[in-house]
Amino acid sequence: MSDAGAQLSEEWEEVLDAFSLHLEAERNLSVHTVSAYIHDVLAFALWSAHSPVQVTPIMIRQYLTKLFERELSKRSIARQMSAMRSFYRFLRVVKGLQVSPVEAIRSPRLERRLPSFLYVDEIFELLNAPDCTQPLGVRDRAILEFLYASGVRVAECVALNVSDLRIDSGLVSVIGKGNRERIVLFGSGAKRALRTYLQDARPKLARMDELALFVNHRGTRLSDRSVRRVVDRYVEQLALVKNITPHTFRHTFATHLLEGGADLRVVQELLGHQSLSSTQIYTHTAKEHLMRVYELSHPRA
């Protein structure tokens, strides 16, 4: 076995190029996800002196031991093993491997982290924080209202164009992970905030030819990072002690729907989750909140 820094063989280069193309063209994964997969498999390729088709389960275990010795987190190691499993499933098809050397290897067991969310009074306080006497404040209010009302990912939010929005119907079409399109709903609070933004603020901010729904002070499309700064500004202003990110609005959206009695599969559809198990984690969050409310309010709790 060689250590990291070794030269990559032509065979590894060829299969990694083919794997990257497979992830992009056939599995329709994002550029960021493809890059992460290739990075993780490449790390193993540089460590191993063997052909990819000669790798054995023992070699995989030796590599895992090395990762543990480097004190990588369990989450990082599990992510690398996930990339390796995908890579060897691909090789079974293109190289005719009978057995993947990774299938028998267990990833480290991860503690399931419950997503953080905001209580109703906290989210309302945050929604009311922007100064709506200023165009940027009106924009910020519309962003916060829309994130909470729709549960969209921040990348989906900033990718929207004005033409995607159907305010009267409370509907918008978004392109989610894997380039999958879904219809998202939003309610009366977001409708009001978006109408005010489109009528009073966006014309003062956006360039004439700009298609983006949400724009920055230069009049061009807002970035993911800019939305993070918007959220950070109001969290700091209100001195909230929780770790709140744009994604917290998505967690809050799901938790509040389930607490209100929404069906789990409806929430799954609204969030754009392919697997129901991805949505089920919010039921634990909702139960924790209900228990906390019970303990605080019931005289015999």
Query: What are the C-alpha distances in Å from 49 to residues 13, 114, 214?
Result: 13, 40, 50
> 298 catalytic, yes or no?
no
Query: What are the C-alpha distances in Å from 230 to residues 92, 226, 291?
Result: 47, 6, 32
- Return d(Cα 184, Cα 122) in angstroms, integer: 24
> 282 catalytic, yes or no?
yes
Of 177, 192, 228, 289, the catalytic one is: 177
Of 50, 85, 182, 247, the catalytic one is: 247
Of 22, 141, 250, 251, the catalytic one is: 250
Partners of 184 in beta bridges? 172
In one letter, which amino acid is 272?
Answer: G
DSSP-derived secondary structure letter, 24: I
Q: Are the beta carbons of 247 and 153 closer than 8 angstroms?
A: yes
Of 191, 251, 256, 273, the catalytic one is: 273
Helix (H), strand (E) at residue 124: helix 120-127
What's the token pair of residue 286? 């909702």
- Return d(Cα 4, Cα 16) in angstroms, integer: 17
> 153 catalytic, yes or no?
yes
- Percentage helix, strand, coil, to 5, in the chain? 60, 5, 35
Instruction: Write down how long the chain is.
Output: 301
> 177 catalytic, yes or no?
yes
What's the token pair of residue 65? 């031991």
> 119 catalytic, yes or no?
no
Closest CA to 6 of 59, 56, 42, 39: 42
Of 139, 141, 153, 256, the catalytic one is: 153
- Return d(Cα 180, Cα 170) in angstroms, integer: 20
CA 290 to chain centre: 26
Residues annotated as catalytic are 153, 177, 247, 250, 273, 282
